[in-house]
Amino acid sequence: MHNAYWLLNVRLETGHEVESGAVTGTKTGLFRLRIKDGKITAIANMSDAGDADGLPQLDARGLLALPPFIEKHCHLDKTLLGDRWRPVRPAASLFERFEIEARTLPTLRTTMKERAENLLELLLRAGSTHIRTHVDLYPGAGLRHLEAVQEALASFEGKLTSEIVAFPQHGLLRTQSMGIVREALRGGCGLVGGVDPHTVDGDMEKSLQTMMELAVEANADVDLHLHDGGRIGLDTIRRLAQLADEAGWQGRVSVSHAFALADMQGEEAEETAQLLANSGIAIITSVPLGRAIPPVPFLHDCGVHVAVGCDNIFDSWSPFGNGDVLERAGRLAERFGRKTEQELAEALGFITGGVTPLDKDGQPVWPKLGDEASFVFAEASCSAETVARRAKRPAVMHRGTIVAGALERTSL
**Calpha distance 111→212 (Å, rounded):** 33
Mean pLDDT estimate for the chain: 95
- In this predicted model, what pLDDT tens digit does every residue of 235-271 receive, in sequence order? 999 999 999 999 999 999 999 999 999 999 889 999 9
Predicted confidence band of residue 408 (pLDDT cuts 50, 70, 90): low
Q: Is the pLDDT of residue 412 over 60?
A: no
Predicted confidence band of residue 53 (pLDDT cuts 50, 70, 90): confident
Nearest Cα to Cα of residue 195 among 166, 167, 218, 237: 167
If 0-12 CB within 10 Å is exposed, 13-18 middle and 19+ buried, where does residue 104 land? Answer: middle
Q: What is residue 410's predicted lDDT score, i.e. its pLDDT?
A: 36
Q: What is residue 1's predicted lDDT score, i.e. its pLDDT?
A: 46
Lowest mean pLDDT among 37-51, 183-197, 327-341, 359-373: 37-51
- In this predicted model, what pLDDT tens digit does every residue of 303-326 receive, in sequence order? 999 999 999 999 999 999 999 999
Q: What is residue 176's predicted lDDT score, i.e. its pLDDT?
A: 96
Question: Is the bond preceding residue 297 a cis peptide, omega within 30 degrees?
Answer: no
Q: Is 5 helix (H, G, I), strand (E, B) or coil?
A: strand
**Calpha distance 368→43 (Å, rounded):** 8
Nearest Cα to Cα of residue 167 among 288, 259, 256, 285: 256
Looking at the DSSP assignment, which residues form a beta bridge with residue 133? 74, 164
Q: What is residue 2's predicted lDDT score, i.e. its pLDDT?
A: 53
CA–centroid distance for 317 within its chain: 19
**Calpha distance 179→194 (Å, rounded):** 14
**Using DSSP, how many helices (H) and how many strands (E) does the chain show?**
11, 16
**Calpha distance 72→260 (Å, rounded):** 20
Q: Is the pLDDT of residue 81 over 80?
A: yes
- In this predicted model, what pLDDT tens digit does every residue of 146-184 receive, in sequence order? 999 999 999 999 999 999 999 999 999 999 999 999 999
